[in-house]
Amino acid sequence: MSTTEPYAPLVAQLFAELPGAGRPAGPGWACGEAREPLSGTWVRVYLQAAAGRVAACRYEVRGCPHTVAALGLLATRLAGQAVAGLDVDPAALARELGAPAAKLGRIFVIQDALRSAALQLNVGCP
């Protein structure tokens, strides 16, 4: 990352492509939501599972480019993971994206939403 570019190339790419962004259609999705009022960060994660594994991940987000990029990265990586114990390491994700320490709290919001969605897999989402 150069001093003239505020975001690492991976963040810029994920922010531009938005993999997995948007509310899913159809039944069979669980969702979890979390927010951090001081920064205005809001995250909703949708999960679809089959045979105890994540089949698909979608999300809605209001947040900074690092938050959006982190969700895009997760959406591309969650498919195939076991639902039991599903989690994310916020510090590792922040490091991978080159996010400053001040953004770590926003990635914890993602972790909270993901955990909530994993718990709701058998309940469904409104």
**What domain count does the chain have?**
1
Query: pLDDT grade, residue 2 (50/70/90)?
Result: very low
Answer whether residue 88 is part of any domain: yes
Q: What is the pTM for the complete model shown? A: 0.89
CA-CA distance, 70 to 93, in Å (whole number)? 7
Q: Residue 14 maps to which CATH number?
A: 3.90.1010.10
Let me know if residue 21 belongs to a domain.
yes
106, 103, 50: which is closest to 78 by C-alpha?
A: 50
Domain assignment of residue 70, yes or no: yes
Task: List, for residues 82-118, the tens digit of each pLDDT value.
Answer: 998 899 999 999 999 999 999 999 999 999 999 999 9
Does a structural domain hold residue 5? no
Structural domain that includes position 19:
10-119
Q: What is the DSSP string of 67-112?
A: HHHHHHHHHHH-TT-BSTT----HHHHHHHHT--GGGHHHHHHHHH
Three-state secondary-structure class, residue 116: helix
Is there a domain that residue 95 lies in?
Answer: yes
Question: Domain for residue 100, yes or no?
Answer: yes
